[in-house]
Amino acid sequence: DKQDTTSILSKLSKRIKFAKGVIRQIKRYKPDVIHANDFDVLLMVYFSGYKNAKIVFDAHEIYAKNAFINKYRVISKIVELIEKHIINKRVNAFVTVSHAAKSYYLKKGYKKTPHVITNAPFLDESLTLTKSSEINEVVYQGQIVANRGYEEFVKAATIQHEQPVNYVIRGFGPQEEEIRKLIKVENANVKLAKPVEVKELVQKLSESDIGVVLTKPVSINFKYTVSNKIFECIHAGLPVILSPVKE
């Protein structure tokens, strides 16, 4: 509708303004190395025409298959072809977030082999992990957005156990109000806890007993992803219940 079109045009306008700033800065600064996060920034670097820098392309997601672009098959294909061309011709090093994503790129005919660098936080050696064998609390921590399995988490919390178990969702996002309503409708034993600072994520997780990451493989991008929440749970000493995405 009209509101959606206005929103898309506004975002596009801001992105074009940002792109002009990136290109201007590249030409002014004349860097030796440019680390480009995701396809849109890689495209800006390419359009700058600056050829005296080594380019590291860091693919945080399979951009051609993200939630917005994947809606339009033609645009998705164009993005893939342009990305492939720039990587094959201009990129010196290629980085991605999972072995599953690496496999995807190679199957698609990308000639440069990606290095896998997972999105894991730094390990806090000072964190004392003391765990009992009892399960008192299950936690799902992160942005409350679509296709992350928050609905299933709430419905699971309605199942009766011999021993009472608390369910916690900690975070914020566009689906927060929807999940809040679902908790009431299902009469589920779920607490919506306030988000914490990034530096406190692992510490806060360590207070629970089981972590949950339920990303749904609804698109190629989600299918090949690996969530940083998995590593946060591992660092907090929690076993993790995961959806069956490839990684």
Could you read off the pLDDT of 225-235 as tens digits, one per residue?
Answer: 888 899 999 99
Give the C-alpha distances (Å, rounded to integers) separating 9 from 14, 15, 72, 110, 189: 9, 10, 16, 31, 42
Give pLDDT, residue 3. Answer: 57
β-sheet bridge partners, residue 241: 212
Which whole number is the average pLDDT over 41-58?
96
Alpha-carbon distance of 230 to 246, in angstroms, equals 14
Q: Categorize the per-residue pLDDT at 119 as very low, low, confident or very high, splitting at 50, 70 and 90.
A: confident
Query: Using CA atoms, how far apart are residues 154 and 138, in angstroms rounded to an integer?
Result: 11
Residue 169 host element (H or E): strand 166-170
Residue 162, pLDDT score? 80
- 4 pLDDT band, cuts 50/70/90, is low
Handedness of CA 180, 237, 243, 59 (dihedral sign): positive
The 10s digit of each residue's pLDDT in 148-177 is: 999 999 999 998 878 889 999 999 999 999
Written as six digits, the tokens of 209 are 């007993």
Nearest to 100 by CA among 234, 209, 221: 221
Identity of residue 227: S
List, in order, residues 6 or more apart from 150 with CB less than 8 Å away. 140, 144, 169, 175, 179, 214
Q: What percent of the chain has pLDDT over 90?
A: 69
Is residue 32 predicted with pLDDT exceeding 90?
yes
Which CATH architecture does the domain made up of 137-242 adopt? 3-Layer(aba) Sandwich (3.40)
102-113 pLDDT, tens digit per residue, is 999 999 999 999
- Are the C-beta atoms of 190 and 154 separated by less than 8 Å? yes
Q: How far apart are the first and last CA of the chain?
A: 37
Distance between CA atoms of residues 87 and 132, nearest Å: 49
* pLDDT (tens digit per residue) in 186-226: 999 999 999 999 889 999 999 999 999 999 988 888 888 88
- Residue 120 predicted with pLDDT over 90: no
Map out the domains of the chain as residue ranges: 2-116, 137-242
Whether the model pTM is above 0.95: no
